[in-house]
Every structure is written in structure tokens, then in C-alpha cells.
Structure 1
Amino acid sequence: MSLAMKLTAITLDCPDPEALVAFYQQATGLELHPKSNGDFAGLNCDDGLFIGFQRVDDYQAPRWPDQAVPQQFHLDFEVDDLDEAEALLLALGALKPEYQPGGARWRVLTDPAGHPFCLTRRKV
């Protein structure tokens, strides 16, 4: 027997929810959740998935690829053009770690709170 579970939300810890929601809203074009406030902010996806950002006191950013503070999870985003998406995200405040295990297949960036995320080419 398996459960019919549907993923409805993903919430990321961070030091500043409003800054992180602004980064992801600009990067994705998703709609800001109307009940966002100083300690919690979120984005609504068209398919019903909610991406939340919650304030955590004494937040410690993951260190990619060092596991002293492990990443614990990461998000993957499909894009049409890796170079174009990378340039836009870097302009929005993302960082590109030196360690890039994907070669030409994917890129690892970190958001302004230090969470690693990957860019992959959109499957045609």
C-alpha cells in the first residue's frame, strides 16, 4: 500500500525572509503570497506548490561543497539557456561557487542566504 501524498510546500530557513523571497520572486516570476510578513514569506506556484522562507535566529548558511554545515537539500530549476540564466541570477545576488561538478550539464549557484541550487537545461 502506498500513500497518495502530494507535495504542497517547501520551506527554507534563512536570516531574512523578505530578502530571500524577493530574490526568488525576481528569479522565477512567481506570485508573492499575500500573508507574507517579516518572519515568514512565500511564493505561490501555478501548480499549487508553495515555497516558503522562514526566519531562523542564528541561521548558519550551508557551505558548498564543504560539509561542515551541510546543504541538507537543494532546488533544481530548468532553464532554456544556462549562461543567460546564470548571468541574470548573479545580477540578482546569487553567487557561483568555484566547485562545479556538473561540467557543461548543469551549474551550481547559491542564493543570497547560502542555499545551493542547480540550473539545468530545459528538456526539449
Structure 2
Amino acid sequence: MPAKLKLTAINLDCPDTRALAAFYQQATGLELAPGSGDDFAGLVREDGLWIGFQRVDDYQAPRWPDQRVPQQFHLDFAVDDLDEAEALVLELGAAKPEFQPGGDRWRVFTDPAGHPFCLAEG
């Protein structure tokens, strides 16, 4: 049997680690990891999973759905109330692209650094 891999972290490139960590901290309620700073910041979940934010010089935000600067990845979040969650992330600085391929099933947003993420009830 092959070895099993355990996901321990998801890291996002960005121009401002503290700002992007604050966005996701307020949206998810995750704790800011000790030692977070200007070059790298992290949020940690109770089970140890990290969402990391690493500063990149000359960062180019994805242009979803345009593929000239592709999305590279996206995050999906389950929410209890889609409208309430949408209001929260927009208030925190997310943007809602005009193109919404999910219909009533999910909604696509972009975080302050341009990374796409989806919200779906579940």
C-alpha cells in the first residue's frame, strides 16, 4: 500500500501577508499563528492545518476567469447561509466577479490579493 499523504498547509502568494491573513482570519475565525510577519503569515485550524500567506515581489493577481494570469488554485468554503456569508466577505474586502458559473449552487469571489474562492451552502 502506498504511503498516505496528510495535508498540513495551503500557502498563497500575495503582496501583503498581514492584510491577506487578516481577511481570511476575519472570514474564518482561524487563529493567527505565532511568528506571523511581513514575509510570511499563517492561520492555523484546531487540527493543525495551516493557511499560509507568503510575500512575493512583483506579485501578479490571477485574472479569473481570464486565463492570461491563471487562478492556479482556489479555496472552497462551506457556509450555513450563502447570502449572509456573501455579505461578510464583501464587507471584508472580497470582490464578486460578474461571471458566476455555479448558478444557485455556489458563488465565486476574489480575495483582496485576487485569489478566487467559492462559497457554497453545506
What TM-score results when the alignment is normalised by the length of structure 2?
A: 0.98
Cα offset, 1:47, TM superposition: 1.5
Following the alignment from structure 1 to structure 2, what is the Cα–Cα distance between the partners of residues 16 and 28?
18
Residues 1-124 of structure 1 correspond to what in structure 2 (within 5 A)? 1-122=1-122
Cα-Cα RMSD: 0.6
Structure 1 runs (4+) deviating above 2 angstroms are none
Following the alignment from structure 1 to structure 2, what is the Cα–Cα distance between the partners of residues 119 and 17?
22
Cα offset, 1:50, TM superposition: 0.6
Query: 3-state SS of the aligned residue for 1:12?
Result: strand
Cα offset, 1:101, TM superposition: 0.1
Identical counterparts, % of pairs: 78
Cα offset, 1:2, TM superposition: 1.8
Following the alignment from structure 1 to structure 2, what is the Cα–Cα distance between the partners of residues 74 and 46?
22
Q: Which runs of 5+ in 2 are unaligned?
A: none
Q: Which runs of 5+ in 1 are unaligned?
A: none
What TM-score results when the alignment is normalised by the length of structure 1?
A: 0.97
Tell me the number of residue pairs that the alignment of Structure 1 and Structure 2 aligns.
122
Query: 3-state SS of the aligned residue for 2:34?
Result: coil
